[in-house]
Amino acid sequence: MQSVSHSQPVTAHQRTIWTVQAGIIAALYLVLTMLAAGFDLASGAIQVRFSEALTILPYFTPAAVPGLAIGCLIANFVTGSALPDVVFGTLATLLGAIGTRALRKHRFLCSFPPVISNMIIVPLILIYAYGVPGGFPYLAATVGAGEAVCCVLFGQILISALRPVRNQIFGQM
């Protein structure tokens, strides 16, 4: 697949590839979240959602933005999250993915938008939807630490692993 410049229209073939990529990313997000939930790491004050490492995928493809949001939405439904968590947790992932895509030319910086969006939004969800004690600063720190491990540490490892094969997986960049 050739890269798309701003002057070229998106072809039906490119839309199909992006749709498939988004679906695969959504499915991977769901599976990894279910794995984290099995270890009781997918929610709560201290959470390490392995699936959040995938939030670096917008670095490679715009299809990852809707894929991550849809995967998070489905994962939050499947894991029995409260409605505010389903809505605003998905929003946090979507905003993080958009930020990653916007910073895609900065390999290291692109892993920070999901950390920031989750540090701001998820503690509010924990406080108001679940009544988790500890206050905003504490919850922002614990959620931020888990996100930093997943998005920055695991995310950068994932970027390193995927860069050599990025054109075979995501098409020409």
Residue 131 has pLDDT above 90, yes or no: yes
**pLDDT value for 2:** 45
Q: What is the mean pLDDT of the chain?
A: 90
Per-residue pLDDT tens for 2-44?
444 455 788 888 899 999 999 999 999 999 998 887 877 666 6
Per-residue pLDDT tens for 61-89?
999 999 999 999 999 999 999 999 999 99
Within 13 Å and on the Cβ side, how many CA atoms surround 52? 35
**Cβ(69)–Cβ(88) below 8 Å:** no
Q: What are the tokens at 155? A: 């995310």
Domains of the chain plus CATH, in order, are 12-42+49-170 (1.10.1760)
